[in-house]
Amino acid sequence: MSVNFIFLLLFAGLFSFLLPQKRLKFLWSVFLFAVIGYALFSISMPYTGKELVFLWKAIPNLPVPIVFNPWLSGSTGVYGVLLLTALAIYYNIISQNEEFSNSLNGLIIFNSIFIIMAFCSANYIQLLAAVGMADVIVYGIINNLEAKRYYIYGNFVADFMLMSILALVLAQQGKVDIANLEEYTKTWHHRDFIAIILLIAVFIKSGFAFFHTAYQKMASLSFTRLNFILFASTPLMGITILLLLNNILNISKFSYPIFVIGVFTSLCWGFIGCLTSDDIKRKAIYNAMMFWGLAFAGVVMFPDFSMRKFLVFLISAFLFNVSLQIVCKSAEQKRISQIYNFYKFPQIIFVINMAASCLYALSWLVFSYGNLYLCIYGLVLILLTGATIASEIYLGIDKTRQNQRLITLMLMALPIFATFAISIIKNDNIVHFYVYAAAILSAFVLLFLTWPLRFLQKTYQINFFQKSDIINATYTTLIAIPVQTIGRGLRVAVDFIFLERTLIASIKNSIRCCIFIFKVIHSSGIWGKIFFIILGAAVFTAVYYNGVVR
């Protein structure tokens, strides 16, 4: 099968900007789904040897091929990107508060093209071009000025780091093929530097702890844009970079400890933030941080990393955030503490939340089955997060929510969840699968009813947890304020003391002295005449010795 679907995606993305934003929304969405469906059908067909290649003279005397060949690079990853694209377009369609719906669909389509381009990268230039263009697309999707500023600054630094790494490799090898990276690792040039810089660039891209400020600023975006950015754009590009360039990490003894510290910190930070934040959108952002921490842990811990299982886990995390979006929309509130009642159908919303939480945990179980300790650790984090959020919403202390203890509906939701999970996850031993599903559902129900972390709800009243960004506050306290203080001190010392009191005062006094001397010289007294006689004699003597004697 050929890759003609790339041209269809490109056409659909371009034409989306030309359509009226409030017309033809349904018909154009049907066409977009048809295009994505054709792309999925093309990838599912056997490979026939046809690929799409562009020759780009990015470097003098070295034409670089830009290749689109999902079959050779792993069609599963491209398949998952298209599924996420379809989900993002679907939720954009049903969202009623999106003013530029068709343009957003076009940007989502373009993002999928560049993510596919990154998956198919066989050389450094194609990877860099895909990463840079995807950053531009996400920059266009963000419709908040402050979030744009933080996002582009962080990703500019990450892109510059990535370019520096690949420039060093290219300078040593003279080749741009990623397949030659293993040969470079044998020479170990700048091994610690490029490994650590690569990790920092990936951490920035994926919004890890200490690098998540840009994503925190996106809490003002609509849920449709936010969920797409968190799961289907730049963070997904970050894990793609790591999978393609993971050989670089093997050449440094510092890369693994730094990676473990970054992953563990992100897991803990995301988990705590998800439970202590009152804002539902910030809960979704912290959940994404926790998810990417678990995903990157899987990249390191599992030698036989399964892209299919990872994408199931990715879609499950996306749907968990969608369940938070449903809560936010149904209650017409964006803060947990302000939810007093739902607009309608609280029972159905609870079933959706429970199904999404259990599916999230079950997909992690399938993804991390090869590592017992990591599997248990992730299950505890996911189930505690989902059950605690559900308890805060449906078992809150407010009397208007006491009638929403929907214990009987939990049993009704079990077959719904099981059918939904089985339709997504394939398991060879279906008996064990039912046991795991029942155990996860039981654990969720137990945590939901007992609500062991109810004391964390007190943090909703503490402004430090709700309004402050710890990283931004740390930067302001340790860097910005000291620099400003030193600047003010230097201004006083240099401008007031040195310039004004010393330099300017000395010049002023010198000018006064010169003026006084010239007044004395030009006066009609005897001293003026004597001065000019002496001055004339000195000039005459200097001219004589300089001209006649020499």
Position 99 confidence tier, pLDDT thresholds 50, 70, 90:
confident
Least confident of 112-116, 184-188, 392-396, 399-403: 399-403
pLDDT at 401: 41
Q: Note whether 258 and 199 are within 8 A (CB).
A: yes
Give the pLDDT mean for 308-330.
85
Provide the 8-state DSSP code for 123.
B
Q: pLDDT: is 507 or 138 the higher one?
A: 138
SS3 readout for 342-409: CCCCHHHHHHHHHHHHHHHHHHHHHHCCCCHHHHHHHHHHHHHHHHHHHHHHHCCCCHHHHHHCCHHH
At residue 415, the pLDDT reads 42
C-alpha–C-alpha distance, residues 516 and 189, integer Å: 70
Q: How many CA within 13 A on the CB side of residue 56?
A: 14
Lowest mean pLDDT among 3-17, 56-70, 110-124: 56-70
Cα(267)–Cα(207) distance, rounded to whole angstroms?
12
Spatial separation of the C-alpha atoms in residues 519 and 471, rounded to whole Å? 66
What DSSP designation does 460 have? G
Q: What is the mean pLDDT of residues 313-320?
A: 88
For residue 412, the model assigns a pLDDT of 38
Q: How would you classify residue 57: left for phi > 0, otherwise alpha for psi between -120 and 50, otherwise beta?
A: beta
Assess whether pLDDT exceeds 50 at residue 402. no
Tell me which of 33-47, 212-226, 266-280, 409-423 is least confident: 409-423
Q: Please check whether residue 207 is in contact with residue 235, taking contact to mean a CB–CB distance below 8 angstroms.
A: yes
Could you say which DSSP state residue 65 is in? E
pLDDT for res 404: 39
Q: Which pLDDT value is given to residue 493?
A: 62
Most confident of 270-274, 414-418, 420-424: 270-274
Contact between residue 281 and residue 328 where contact means Cβ atoms under 8 Å apart = yes
Distance CA 511, CA 486 (A): 34
Residue 379 has pLDDT above 80, yes or no: yes
Task: Identify the bridge partners of residue 335 per DSSP, sorted by sequence position.
Answer: 279
d(CA 422, CA 211): 36
pLDDT for the residue 27:
80
The model's pTM: 0.77
| Alpha-helical regions (H) of 45-180 | 70-73, 75-94, 101-119, 124-141, 145-173
The string of pLDDT tens digits covering residues 116-172 is 888 888 788 888 888 989 989 998 888 888 888 888 888 888 888 888 888 887 777
Say if residue 403's pLDDT is above 50: no
What value does the mean pLDDT take over residues 510-533? 70
Predicted confidence (pLDDT) per residue in 19-55, tens digit: 776 677 778 888 888 888 888 887 777 666 666 777 7
Closest CA to 88 of 178, 6, 4, 13: 13
In this structure, of 166-180, 243-257, 354-368, the range with the lowest mean pLDDT score is 166-180
Contacts of 361 (CB under 8 A, 6+ apart): 379, 382, 383, 386, 440, 443, 444
Q: How far apart are CA 123 and CA 54, in angstroms?
A: 13
To the nearest whole percent, how much of the chain has pLDDT over 70? 72
Query: In which band, very low, low, confident or very high, does the pLDDT at 211 lie, cut at 50, 70 and 90?
Result: confident
DSSP letters, 414-435, are HHHHHHHHHHH---S-HHHHHH
DSSP run (H or E) holding 68: strand 62-68
- Is 465 or 215 the better-scoring residue by pLDDT? 215
Taken in order 350, 352, 355, 361, is the CA torsion positive or negative?
negative
Mean pLDDT over 465-477 rounds to 61
Residue with tokens 């947890």: 465
Distance CA 360, CA 437 (A): 11
Q: Up-side HSE of residue 192: CA atoms within 13 Å toward CB? A: 4
- Kindly report the average pLDDT of the chain as a whole number: 76
What mean pLDDT comes out for the span 212-239? 87
- Cα 475 from chain centroid (whole Å): 19
pLDDT exceeds cutoff 60 at 109: yes
346 residue type, one letter: P
More confident residue, 525 or 309: 309
Give helix 430-450 / helix 372-394 axis angle, nearest 10°: 40
pLDDT at position 106 over 80: yes
CA distance linking residue 269 with residue 289, whole number of Å? 8
Rg (CA), the chain: 32
3-state secondary structure of 468: coil
Per-residue burial over 416-446, b if 16 or more Cβ lie within 10 Å, else e, is ebbebbeeebebeeeeebeebbeebbebbbe
